[in-house]
Amino acid sequence: MNIVAILGSPHGMKGTTGALLAGVISSAEAAGAEVKTFLLSKITVKPCLACDVCHRTGECSIKDDFKTIKAAMIAADGIILASPNYITSVSAQMKAVFDRCCGPLHCQAMQGKYGATVVTSGGAESKVVEKYMIGFLQIMGCWTVGSVGAEAQQIMDEKARAPKLKAAARLGTRLAKAIREKKTYPGQVAVQRSFYERMKSLVTMRKDDWNYEYKYWKSLGRL
Ligand SMILES: Cc1cc2nc3c(=O)[nH]c(=O)nc-3n(C[C@H](O)[C@H](O)[C@H](O)COP(=O)(O)O)c2cc1C
């Protein structure tokens, strides 16, 4: 059972998002998962250039660490996305990863994986970012098992952090269990299905230009 965790905070594992993520990771590991963590504070993922090279060739034109993250995500059974709330969205570091996933999104290359999200915020505003990251995972074709959010203060205060760390631990266990039991979530099928159909039409419409993606869909017998 392989899980990839991606942390979008510039503070890495020393920040509040990192502390909450650590709780998810250790319980997933205790449940038998092997977790590979990418700290976007330590590696480079530049913003998408919208050059369309990935759609035509399957390879991104930007030479940085995204290639390794993409390969790990595609090989994984589960994906944990962790970001602080930056102006009611994810950090720019995390958004760069999402945008660079445009090729795998068109290919629906992450279908059937399992995802979870982790968010911290200065105020009580984690939910909107959790919803956004859950939405990202679902349009990628993943089943989402849940999310954990906290105010920074709830993590920084040693006495107050126990309930949030427990929630993080529950999420890690739930993610590992979902992977092991190959759980499905009927409530998520409509979103996945409608995005899949949209990508199918798009890839078919652009088949002469976005050669790689059309061939990818064909090779899987989806077209
Ligand atoms: C650029 C920036 C934007 C932020 N925007 C928000 C915001 O819109 N809402 C909020 O509640 N907190 C906001 N915060 C606070 C962070 O979400 C909060 O401090 C978070 O816990 C930091 O996580 P970290 O310790 O992992 O870096 C912002 C912080 C920064 C640096």
> What share of the chain has pLDDT > 70, as a percent?
100
Of 170, 96, 173, 101, the residue nearest 142 (C-alpha): 101
Q: Does the pTM of the predicted model rise above 0.85?
A: yes
pLDDT of residue 125: 87
124 has a pLDDT exceeding 80? no
The structure tokens 């945008």 sit at 99
CA distances from 75 to 3, 110, 179 (A): 9, 9, 14
pLDDT of residue 160: 85
126 has a pLDDT exceeding 90? yes
Ligand 1: distance of its center to the CA of 37 in Å? Answer: 21
Q: Which atom of ligand 1 is nearest to the CA of 11?
A: 27
CB 28, CB 175: distance < 8 Å: yes
Probe target for ligand 1 pocket from 121, 129, 132, 156, with the most ligand atoms within 8 Å of CB: 121
How far apart, in whole angstroms, are the C-alpha atoms of residue 142 and residue 184?
A: 10
Ligand 1: distance of its center to the CA of 53 in Å? Answer: 34
- The string of pLDDT tens digits covering residues 58-98 is 999 999 999 999 999 999 999 999 999 999 999 999 999 99
Tell me which of 3.90.650.10, 3.40.50.800, 3.40.50.360, 3.40.50.1820 is the CATH number of domain 2-219: 3.40.50.360
Q: Is the Cβ atom of 149 under 6 angstroms away from ligand 1?
A: no
Ligand 1: distance of its center to the CA of 178 in Å? Answer: 30
Q: Is the Cβ atom of 68 under 6 angstroms away from ligand 1?
A: no
Of 202, 79, 67, the residue nearest 133 (C-alpha): 79
Q: Is the Cβ atom of 103 under 6 angstroms away from ligand 1?
A: no
- The string of pLDDT tens digits covering residues 16-51 is 999 999 999 999 999 999 999 999 999 999 999 999
* CA terminus-to-terminus distance, the chain: 30
How far apart, in whole angstroms, are the C-alpha atoms of residue 27 and residue 78?
A: 14
Q: Please list the alpha-helical segments (H only) found in 162-188.
A: 162-181
Sorted by where each begins, the domain ranges of the chain are 2-219
